[in-house]
Structure 1
């Protein structure tokens, strides 16, 4: 067995792990990264990037269908567009391959040793990586970046037509009928993409509303889109089980106390969230404290075991790639002796539905629940010239700013609308820099851009919006 001694061992090559390893290498630390699959982790290989590629392709296909016949915007097509799903998947896979190869190059540039295989820990600082030539690694510092896996339902085990988001992004042909169990952001993003591709999509949600992490005002335009497209949404409904029949899958569901009903479909996509990947690699041998299902950490991402660190989905919500990357960078710098902590004012989140939703900081309801006296301002996309020129002004979209009433400190910025995701960086930056309403209102934004909605919303909170 080959033996490796290293200063820093990073377990997991996702957006948290590979960023941590690259930064550690840049800082001159002897660094080893272990990854059992492809570099890039869930986000790049089977999550964020492939799903956004498929969402983009679905939107382009859907747009083309609006030009058939009489046409739209003066553009007409004589025949409906055709979809070669296998070709679309190959295009998506090409993007994934390119980015994964790029990560390998960046790790090599930073002099990070990459070992392919599954790491299994016998104690907090020692692991064995199985492979043709097993490797035993001893490390001074261990960074756990093991990520998360798709959560399953006991009543709907994966297989025989019951799929997770991973399989949904690799289909060779479209189902005619799809039931999505779970109307959170993963289920809604993928379900809407399939609906744009012509699939009859039905949603089943155990709670009383879709996208429960967002407030009702932000969710309303998405609900309107689903109604317009004829996608059925069953709320307060549990999935009880599935059976295969001659005419397809029969999904048994129950709404409230009503008698069970049956939904017939070709495939069932289970999208009820993700759980931390804590099983099967020896976490129980590392003597770290847990916080429920997650690994417990402090503000520097330290676990209860000395020189063992944890980042990303493994440590709790928000389970977002950009949070993991930020934590990974901080941990590498702390190990190198720099004074750092992971203490963001806000971590923006985006839901790539139709339309898109952006959330950064506190909602008005959350601020009020903390006893804060607030002012809010809201500006509709329908009053923004750039939005109208991109057909983005009729979906009910808006930007909303929430601030303290006494000193005008901005507490939260939220938006829903086409292309709203591209505003997320500006929202997070404003919160991180401690902006007040006057900062947003008096920063000159380029005209015509959708970003002009932000100063207009701030002016609204100050009581003198110009364009509404």
Structure 2
């Protein structure tokens, strides 16, 4: 039996008066649960508002360009009976009768005919959920959001203060923001060959760093809002399993125990350190390099892969003289040589040195500089 339902803007986090940029539905449309009703866009995130029910739209009350907040009417619709696919108990399929064929040599045993039973006698922790996700990076937060969209009570455990993991906070996103700056600096320099001189580049490292941080903050704030919209509870701290259905999270406010029915482990990765290298602040991993604490006069990049060359591109544009050392005989090993060839021609002109087939055997930390030893046929 259908009934008229008003669909309101749900909790969308800390946003007010968010602009509607898309309304993919019209009066009279038949829609399914989770179909997108409207799309909102703030300066920090784009948010799809899904339908909580299946049914037929009677009247759409929003249009593109409207600014909406939590609790405002999106549309009215006629719902189609009970939701979530639960139909009347009378509508059950008749049992299928199977007769045994006595001529068959041997029946094949059934495998996994029934799902494994869930342990319902779980000791409850300070918090309890159906699904706990350990790690708030791209794998973790997407898993948590999907579980919540499917109706599961979900808790997301993240050791750092912001969601997004390495990629968003100290990897892909800040590096691409810095590469954009490097590209602009390079293009301004190349304009001189076309008779346009815009002067020398005066780099303000503090402002460059703030630009990258602002790019990251916009995206992490958007993730926080999406988690709140889906009612995913985020617990910050380092989690460890204490039993098959319990995680203990140690955070700034002490220890919190979380009991759960299912767990997803998405703990991510971190840069590997080379044990033989000295512990010296002048030796940076990719995370440290993105902080731009200093732009050295000369910089040695160990590794001619994607991450190494990204850092080389940024620091060269900002004023460092770059040397790249790669143990194998090609830059970005495994990549198509037709792509690498023009890249190598370009950076050979810009970098101080590129040593292929060369390994770093030792680094000595001296007072004024680092003394590096190499090994290989093309070693300096």
- Paired with 1:157 and 1:101, the residues of 2 have a C-alpha distance of 37
TM alignment of 1:2-17, pairs within 5 A: 3-17=126-140
Could you tell me how far apart the structure 2 residues matched to 1:157 and 1:119 are?
31
Deviations 1:9-58 (A, max 9, x none): 01111111111111211221100000001211100100000000011111
Q: Deviations over 1:274-332 (max 9, x none)?
A: xxxxxxxxxxxxxxxxxxxxxxxxxxxxxxxxxxxxxxxxxxxxxxxxxxxxxxxxxxx
| 8 Å CA contact 2:127, 2:259 repeated in 1 | yes
8 Å CA contact 1:62, 1:197 repeated in 2: no
TM-score normalised according to structure 2 size = 0.64
Runs (5+) with no aligned partner, structure 1? 262-468
Q: Is the 8 A contact 1:14 1:41 kept in 2?
A: yes
Distance 2:129 2:351 in 1: 57
8 Å CA contact 1:226–1:232 kept in 2: the answer is no
1:244-255 equivalences under 5 Å are 244-255=365-376
| Correspondence 1:41 to 2:161 | no
Displacement of 1:141 after TM fit?
1.0
Tell me the SS of whatever aligns to 1:147: coil
CA contact (8 A) 2:158 2:237 kept: yes
Determine which of 204, 220, 229 is the counterpart of 1:109. Answer: 229
Q: Secondary structure at the match of 2:138?
A: coil
Residue ranges of structure 2 left out of the alignment (5+ in a row): 1-123
3-state SS of 2:270 partner: strand
What is the aligned partner in structure 1 of residue 265 from structure 2? 144
Displacement of 1:75 in angstroms is 3.5
Question: Residue 298 of structure 2 aligns with which residue?
Answer: 177
Question: 1:113-132 residue pairs with structure 2 within 5 A?
Answer: 113-131=233-251, 132=253
Quote the offset at 1:109 in angstroms: 0.2
Task: Give 2:220's match in structure 1, choosing from 92, 100, 115.
Answer: 100
Q: Name the structure 1 match of 2:40.
A: none
Highest CA radius of gyration, 1 or 2? 2
SS at match of 2:293: coil
1:120 is paired with a residue whose SS is strand
Aligned partner of 1:214 in structure 2 is 335
Coordinate RMSD, CA, aligned: 1.9
Q: Are 1:18 and 2:138 matched, yes or no?
A: no
The offset of 1:253, in angstroms, is 1.4
CA contact (8 A) 1:86 1:173 kept: no
Decide whether aligned partners of structure 1 residues 2 and 207 sit closer, same or farther in structure 2, where only a CA change above 3 A counts: same
CA shift for structure 1 position 72: 4.9
Q: Quick one: distance in 1 between partners of 2:278 and 2:210?
A: 28
Tell me the secondary structure at the aligned position of residue 130 of structure 1: strand
Contact 2:304 2:331 in 1 (8 A): yes
Partner of 1:188: 309
- Closer, same or farther: CA 204–106 of 1 in aligned 2, 3 Å: same
Which has more helix, going by share of residues?
Answer: 1
CA distance in 1, matches of 2:275, 2:364: 14
The yes-or-no answer on 1:168 pairing with 2:289 is yes
Q: Is the 8 A contact 2:278 2:363 kept in 1?
A: no
Give the aligned length.
255
Tell me, in whole angstroms, the C-alpha distance in 2 between the residues paired with 1:145 and 1:73. Answer: 50
Return the alpha-carbon distance in structure 1 between the equivalents of residues 281 and 372 of structure 2: 13
Tell me, yes or no, if the aligned pair for 1:119 and 1:129 is still in contact at 8 Å: yes
